[in-house]
Amino acid sequence: MLTMTIESSCDETSVAVVRDGREVLANAVASQIPIHQRYGGVVPELASRNHIRNIHAVVDDALAEADVDLEDIDGYGVTVGPGLVGSLLVGIETAKGFAYAFDKPCVGLNHLEAHLTTVLLELEDVPTPEFPYVGLVVSGGHTDLYVVEGLGEYTLLGRTRDDAAGEAFDKVAKMLGLPYPGGVAIDRLARGGDPARHAFPRPMLNRDNLDFSFSGLKTAVLRHVEQQGVPEEQPLADLCASFQEAVVDVLIEKSLRACRQQGIDRLVLSGGVACNHRLRHRARVECDQQDLTLFVAPPRLCTDNAAMFGPIAEEYLKRKDADHFDAHALRARATMSIGDDSLRQTSSSHR
């Protein structure tokens, strides 16, 4: 089965062709980072306008890379949320248009769920985890810990009570005058810095739960900058490394705690922040020490892309009860929880 998946929830326009939910034949991504960089963050109106401009070229790129035609596609999967509504609509209308024109099914998909299940793709050097696994989704909008029992079977263990980890990276980077996306800039600078130079707080670390909080940490950096100014060169690298270390400490500690509490020895990291070098390194070392197996996709599949929807697109297209053209299911959603059954439990078709 060949699926085309389309992702346009934020500032990446991406189209993938995936075979049998596992094999990525193409994963074309048009990034809008240069467009939004001058504003220090994503401007929703510009994002949707540029999705419209890019989407058909990205579809063509994906088809060329996969060496297939639209006629060969057996079904479509498209992000319906959570995300920027104007941006989501571009992907949704494109997928609906193709599905309608070629008389093929189309399912609406959850962006978070795609991050959480990306590792089920066939990946070079990364084995496929068995179920159940503990999954951390750590992105610009989310910091959530789940137990994944199977596709569509998720139990939330903990989540951020305020900022997401990626959001904290982006806001701290902005305070330090670093370019968007801030996580990338901090990661790069931190590599030459001393993570023990500043003792920033590790929010929620000692609380007996699996929730996170990053807003206090962000404020601690703000206070530091207010008192001492924005540093340059080595002190800037030290500040970045110290902030990053505080985030990484909390993410690792809570993820490992989740594995212990659940008696599960497989940990999956996903989402844009899972590109972070320090997080990947520390996770590898600590999982080794605690006899846990770590699964993390290569960075290009951790940031937003359409291939990550391959496993869930295939699964939901195959499920008989999926109402392929339900207008309600193919509606853009700004917020959406991962177990949002409104996607698949509707019975009336509006086709």
Alpha-carbon distance of 186 to 181, in angstroms, equals 9
CB of 198 to ligand KG4, least distance (A): 18
182/311 with CB nearer ligand KG4: 182
CB of 279 to ligand KG4, least distance (A): 7
Cβ burial, residue 2 (10 Å; 0-12/13-18/19+) = middle
With CB under 6 A as the contact rule, which of the stretches 40-48, 52-60, 181-189, 287-295 interacts with ligand KG4?
A: 181-189
**Which residues 6+ apart lie within 8 Å of 346 measured at CB?**
323, 326, 328, 329
Alpha-carbon distance of 148 to 117, in angstroms, equals 9
Name which position in 75, 129, 158, 181 contacts ligand KG4 (CB under 6 A): 181
Looking at residues 146 to 175 of the shown chain, list those that interact with ligand KG4 (rule: CB under 6 A): 166, 169-170
Q: Token pair for residue 62? A: 């994906």
CB of 147 to ligand KG4, least distance (A): 21
Yes or no: say if 255 and 221 are a contact pair by the CB < 8 Å rule: no
Name which position in 91, 108, 135, 271 contacts ligand KG4 (CB under 6 A): 271
With CB under 6 A as the contact rule, which of the stretches 46-54, 230-238, 267-275, 339-347 interacts with ligand KG4?
A: 267-275
Name which position in 276, 297, 314, 330 contacts ligand KG4 (CB under 6 A): 276
Yes or no: say if 296 and 267 are a contact pair by the CB < 8 Å rule: no
297/322 with CB nearer ligand KG4: 297
Q: Token pair for residue 4? A: 């085309």
296-325 footprint of ligand KG4 as x/- string (CB under 6 A): -------xx---------------------
With CB under 6 A as the contact rule, which of the stretches 47-55, 203-211, 214-222, 269-277 interacts with ligand KG4?
A: 269-277
CB of 247 to ligand KG4, least distance (A): 8
Q: How many Cα atoms occupy the beta-carbon half-sphere of 158 within 13 Å? A: 23
Q: What is the DSSP letter of 351?
A: -
Q: Is 67 left (phi over 0), alpha (psi -120 to 50) or beta?
A: left
Yes or no: say if 182 and 175 are a contact pair by the CB < 8 Å rule: no
Name which position in 28, 80, 273, 306 contacts ligand KG4 (CB under 6 A): 273
75 is a contact residue toward ligand KG4 (CB under 6 A): no
Residue ranges in contact with Zn ion by CB under 5 A:
139, 304
Q: What is the DSSP letter of 115?
A: H
Q: Token pair for residue 86? A: 């104007």
What is the chain's alpha carbon radius of gyration, rounded to the nearest angstrom?
Answer: 20
Where do we find the tokens 């030290």?
A: 238
Q: Which does 203 bind (CB under 5 to 8 A by kind): ligand KG4, Zn ion, none?
A: none
- Omega prior to 132 cis, within 30 of 0: yes
Yes or no: say if 106 and 316 are a contact pair by the CB < 8 Å rule: no
CB of 137 to ligand KG4, least distance (A): 8
Looking at residues 121 to 150 of the shown chain, list those that interact with ligand KG4 (rule: CB under 6 A): 139-141
Name which position in 272, 283, 308, 324 contacts ligand KG4 (CB under 6 A): 272
Amino acid at 230: V
Q: Which does 309 bind (CB under 5 to 8 A by kind): Zn ion, ligand KG4, none?
A: none
Instruction: Give the interface with ligand KG4 as residue ranges (CB under 6 A).
Output: 10, 139-141, 166, 169-170, 181-184, 187, 271-273, 275-276, 303-304
